[in-house]
Chains A and B, each alone.
Chain A
């Protein structure tokens, strides 16, 4: 099933024309409404008239999260604040969040994109969809919710944190689809198996995202719950979930190119890569009004296929993500930068002690451990003082990144030092 055949299956020529038209309008809009972008363009000697077709996007400056930080919170807004109806935010590299603003029309387009994704997964207005993403500043909950309502389906806004209740409602309300992170769904599968409840579930599919996952995880989800699982991709800065989603053929995630213009670049030289070549995904939001972004560097490494898919859609497909071009970690669906942990340690200990972050996946749950070396200046002869130090560090980290870390105090010089440069992170999950 295809929600918007006119757009999702349009010929590449038609798409080229539509994208060109939208890019010209977008550049004109940000040039005149966003001082930050105007200055950036002027610095490069570019005027809006220089942009005539999609190919001209390469003349435009990139946007990075440093730009979002510099323009925090409203510096990249292209619409008057009176037209902004919603704000979402995700972790930034330092104390500040990355804030995204949405106009009414942005919310409508976002909902449409999620509806396309849900339709791609075979869902209709007859389905009962449980949203197991967090509701709040995180885009997952409300994004999936609005898309499912737009489809006309029944939505159960479960949010996160209560697996028992989720399972009870899943069975009692005869839920047919769930949207949540893949690792959480495996956790749900385990809980169902433990209670012998898998047969009582009416679930037929799952739309999973917000964290990287593997084909093996998909296979496990599909086999253990007897359902089909689909991958949904998105990021707060660009919109939220629904930027791209995979179809029955699982040949990559269709990116909705009528709204998002993708490019693949070499993260070192910033030169464009050819279709099929690996590189960093860069996205220009063609229709966003609240916070349009030009050539936003997602830091996600992948490649793009533009051949028509067997499902009938012409929208290009983002291939499996091969990692990040920065040090961001996705832990339990939450973006975590080591620099945030560093800031939290700094706020508690005065200066940053040597620390080490270990991320692992145990029984399909991400574990997040921060070991800090106990230095003389915050050492104490009282257990109480040491435990209070540990707890203060843990709460500072939770405040900074939004998820709980297990904080461990260790002896000095026990953490890895590699050739003068201290290594601070080990991700033991095998996801790529």
Chain B
């Protein structure tokens, strides 16, 4: 299903990540999945949280630049080749994967956060081929 991800801009220096995490903690925001991308100069924190709107407001109040954007969250079965098959299905539909990261699932297996060039389209083709993957959190 398509859910909201909180993306936060961080400068690449000690202390910025802990400050951002501190803001989430103070707001009582729980992190479901997390990815930290870095370049030479800056970092990009992407999190799936239980209260995205509140988290975004808290970031803004503390002077952090952040946005909420749509990503696709799917459930992966704990099987060899499952992820490969899923990504292959998406790419055969002509949809590009921008980035993805995994999180421990609430039950067995793993949850996967995906940003694709066409979220609706990716949802549709995954739903068709892997009905169990998309409905997991619905």
* Residues on A facing B (Cβ under 8 Å): 373-376, 379-384, 386-387, 408-414
**Docked-complex contact B39 and A383, CB < 8 angstroms:** yes
**Docked-complex contact A379 and B65, CB < 8 angstroms:** yes
Given contacts A374-B65, A383-B44, 13 further A-B contacts (CB under 8 A): A376-B67, A380-B7, A381-B46, A382-B99, A383-B37, A387-B39, A409-B41, A410-B42, A411-B11, A411-B65, A412-B65, A413-B63, A414-B11
Looking at B16, B39, B41, B115, which has the most chain A CB atoms within 10 Å of its CB?
B41
**Docked-complex contact B37 and A411, CB < 8 angstroms:** no
Given contacts A374-B65, A381-B7, contact A409 B115 (CB under 8 A): no
Q: Does B69 touch A at the CB level, under 8 Å?
A: yes
Q: Smallest CB-CB separation from A384: which chain B residue?
A: B98
Cβ proximity bits B33-56 to A, threshold 8 Å, 1 near / 0 not: 000010101101010000000000
A381 to B37, CA, bound (A): 10
**Docked-complex contact B67 and A386, CB < 8 angstroms:** no
What is the minimal beta-carbon distance from A381 to any residue of chain B, in angstroms?
4
Q: Smallest CB-CB separation from A410: which chain B residue?
A: B11
What is the minimal beta-carbon distance from B55 to any residue of chain A, in angstroms?
14
Q: Which 10 A-B pairs have the closest CB atoms?
A: A381-B7, A413-B63, A374-B9, A381-B69, A374-B65, A379-B65, A411-B11, A409-B42, A379-B67, A383-B37
- At the interface, is chain B mostly helix, strand, loop or mixed? strand
Residues on A with C-beta less than 8 A from B115 are: 381-382
**Docked-complex contact A380 and B67, CB < 8 angstroms:** yes
Q: Smallest CB-CB separation from A390: which chain B residue?
A: B41
A49 to B5, CA, bound (A): 77
What is the minimal beta-carbon distance from A385 to any residue of chain B, in angstroms?
9
Pull 22 A–B residue pairs with CB atoms less than 8 Å apart, ordered by A.
Answer: A375-B65, A379-B9, A379-B65, A379-B66, A379-B67, A380-B67, A381-B5, A381-B7, A381-B46, A381-B67, A382-B115, A383-B37, A383-B44, A386-B9, A386-B39, A387-B39, A409-B42, A411-B10, A411-B16, A412-B64, A412-B65, A413-B63
A13 to B98, CA, bound (A): 78
Residues on A with C-beta less than 8 A from B67 are: 376, 379-381
Residues on B with C-beta less than 8 A from A413 are: 63
Given contacts A376-B65, A411-B16, A411-B64, contact A386 B44 (CB under 8 A): yes
A374 to B9, CA, bound (A): 8
What is the minimal beta-carbon distance from A352 to any residue of chain B, in angstroms?
16
What is the minimal beta-carbon distance from A242 to any residue of chain B, in angstroms?
42
What is the minimal beta-carbon distance from A243 to any residue of chain B, in angstroms?
42
**Docked-complex contact A381 and B44, CB < 8 angstroms:** yes
**Docked-complex contact B98 and A382, CB < 8 angstroms:** yes
Cβ proximity bits B115-137 to A, threshold 8 Å, 1 near / 0 not: 10000000000000000000000
Residues on B with C-beta less than 8 A from A411 are: 9-11, 16, 63-65
Residues on A with C-beta less than 8 A from B37 are: 383
A410 to B41, CA, bound (A): 9
**Docked-complex contact B44 and A412, CB < 8 angstroms:** no
Cβ proximity bits B50-82 to A, threshold 8 Å, 1 near / 0 not: 000000000010011111010100000000000
A382 to B99, CA, bound (A): 8
Q: Smallest CB-CB separation from B70: which chain A residue?
A: A381
What is the minimal beta-carbon distance from B63 to any residue of chain A, in angstroms?
5
A74 to B16, CA, bound (A): 53
Residues on A with C-beta less than 8 A from B99 are: 382-383
Residues on A with C-beta less than 8 A from B65 are: 373-376, 379, 411-412
Residues on B with C-beta less than 8 A from A376 are: 60, 65-67
Residues on A with C-beta less than 8 A from B63 are: 411-413
Q: Smallest CB-CB separation from B42: which chain A residue?
A: A409
What is the minimal beta-carbon distance from B81 to any residue of chain A, in angstroms?
28
What is the minimal beta-carbon distance from B42 to any residue of chain A, in angstroms?
5
What is the minimal beta-carbon distance from B90 to any residue of chain A, in angstroms?
17
A409 to B10, CA, bound (A): 9
Q: Smallest CB-CB separation from B69: which chain A residue?
A: A381
What is the minimal beta-carbon distance from B9 to any residue of chain A, in angstroms?
5
A380 to B46, CA, bound (A): 11
Q: Smallest CB-CB separation from A407: which chain B residue?
A: B41
Residues on A with C-beta less than 8 A from B64 are: 411-412
Residues on B with C-beta less than 8 A from A387 are: 39
Residues on B with C-beta less than 8 A from A414 are: 11
A387 to B42, CA, bound (A): 10
A143 to B115, CA, bound (A): 57
Residues on A with C-beta less than 8 A from B66 are: 376, 379
Residues on B with C-beta less than 8 A from A412 are: 63-65
Residues on B with C-beta less than 8 A from A380 are: 7, 67
Residues on B with C-beta less than 8 A from A379 are: 7, 9, 65-67
Q: Smallest CB-CB separation from B68: which chain A residue?
A: A381
Q: Smallest CB-CB separation from B10: which chain A residue?
A: A411
What is the minimal beta-carbon distance from A252 to any residue of chain B, in angstroms?
45
Looking at B44, B60, B65, which has the most chain A CB atoms within 10 Å of its CB?
B65
**Docked-complex contact A409 and B44, CB < 8 angstroms:** no
What is the minimal beta-carbon distance from B51 to any residue of chain A, in angstroms?
18
A66 to B66, CA, bound (A): 41
Q: Smallest CB-CB separation from B19: which chain A residue?
A: A411
Residues on A with C-beta less than 8 A from B46 are: 381
